[in-house]
Structure 1
Amino acid sequence: MVFAYTPAIIAHLESSHSPERLAPYYALAGNDKELGFQLYAWNSALSQALYTPLQGLEVTLRNGLSDRLRAAYGPTWFDLNPGPQLHYPLPDMLLKVRTELGRHGSIPDHGRVVAELNWGFWTGLLAKRYEQLWRSHFRQVFHADGPLTRADIFQPLDDLRRLRNRIAHHEPILNRNIAADYASILTLIRYISPDTARWVDSQSQVAAVLSAKP
């Protein structure tokens, strides 16, 4: 459906959006307000299209890493006794999840804890201070034809974490190289599960949305 942008409609749209929110789009549109709202809508479509691939990466990553933690430290690895040697803020994140689960009457078991931990926790496990965990356990999660370092995983994963946060807060992402971001998502999934990467790509609307740029 083609939306008709009349001056009156644009004024109504502006009244329901803050000037600060609209400013980046107006700037990109050369203060053409109709084009600005078209870019705003396109940004929303990009965010929606990226949500499923990002979800696929997060779920694949957390299952891969958590399975290695469970295999190495047992089903209650998140108690850290025994468990992996973690540093702030990761232990606090685990404690918060366990506390919240208990408060709601749920037993903090492996599945529930893993489901509640956020992207930042799993990315944090691949930071430089956990090089030993990478060499001992996490390197086995990722498979590549050539050499693969911890930084090869952490850097793009941390960048995608920032992208995901921007999407979650309804912020502009259209100034990013979305095609490169999407390729990075698929590459990271492929390191863990090539079949999952192909499946995610088969469901994706990213290419179609990119081609529809105003």
Structure 2
Amino acid sequence: MSLESQTVTLTDLQRWFSAERMNTYVRSAEVTGCDAVDLYVWNGRISKALLEDIAHVEVLLRNFISARLTLASGRDDWYKDDAQFRFNSSRTKRFENSVAEIEQQIRHTGKPVTPGRVIVNMSLGSWCFLLSSRLEQTVWKALRNPTNGGMPNYPLRKRLVFENHAKMMRDLRNRLSHQEHIVLDDLAAENRYLDEQYANLDWIARVIDPKAADWIHNQSRVMMVRTERP
């Protein structure tokens, strides 16, 4: 019997993925009058659609920051220019240790350590760290400096606002990557949450490059998948 011809029930999903995990979908299905199995499938699809957009925006953010800091420091391995950017405090060398760990992982693959490979392996958490208040006078100053390319699409240039948007994206990605649910018992609250998250991704992309934001918006599956909610 093919998988397509099999009847999969809520009991099956509870057995495979745990009753506790399925409780969220059962409750939401009761409120909205849909099938919990269909809702579980849709949750996976909307999560993957959002992750596609996040991937584009994260890389856009990464390249934006890296390009500015490369120009500011005059070196491709700007992440080692602690003298200028003061990544590491007197109490911790968390950023330096993170870079060292990435370099070690690259060596384990048998590939040479290059700035490009280090940069693409930095986590979204690291990019959010570079936007933090402790680096406002170094990293943020370099990011908004017109000499380095500046922020022509972000005239407000408020670091905290930009950081909060980036952290919101990070939190969403972490939630989705850990297979947490998007569906809520309150459909109106669920729609508000999705609206806010979608708008946040667009905001980040748009203040970096409006053309890139338009492209990400045009290829996004998020709005289409939302219309398919059970």
Question: Which TM-score tier does this pair reach, normalised by the shorter chain?
Answer: 0.7 to 0.9
Q: 1:80 to 1:28 in 2, by over 3 A?
A: same
Distance in 2 (alpha carbons) for counterparts of 1:212 and 1:191: 30
Distance in 2 (alpha carbons) for counterparts of 1:102 and 1:145: 38
**TM (normalized to structure 2)?**
0.82
Map 1:1-214 → 2, pairs under 5 A: 9-30=9-30, 35-73=35-73, 74-80=75-81, 82=83, 84-87=85-88, 88=92, 89-140=94-145, 141-144=150-153, 146-175=155-184, 176=190, 177-214=193-230
Q: 1:106 to 1:80 in 2, by over 3 A?
A: farther
Distance in 2 (alpha carbons) for counterparts of 1:172 and 1:184: 19
Q: 1:77 to 1:145 in 2, by over 3 A?
A: closer
Runs (5+) with no aligned partner, structure 2: 185-189
Distance in 1 (alpha carbons) for counterparts of 2:138 and 2:52: 29
Percent of aligned pairs with the same amino acid: 27
Contact 1:26-1:32 at 8 Å conserved across structures: no
RMSD across aligned positions (CA): 2.5
Deviations 1:137-192 (A, max 9, x none): 12245333642301111112101111101111111123451122111101111111
Deviations 1:80-129 (A, max 9, x none): 46552113532221111112112323222221011111111001110111
Distance in 1 (alpha carbons) for counterparts of 2:72 and 2:111: 24
**TM (normalized to structure 1)?**
0.87
How many residue pairs were aligned?
211
Distance in 1 (alpha carbons) for counterparts of 2:5 and 2:227: 21
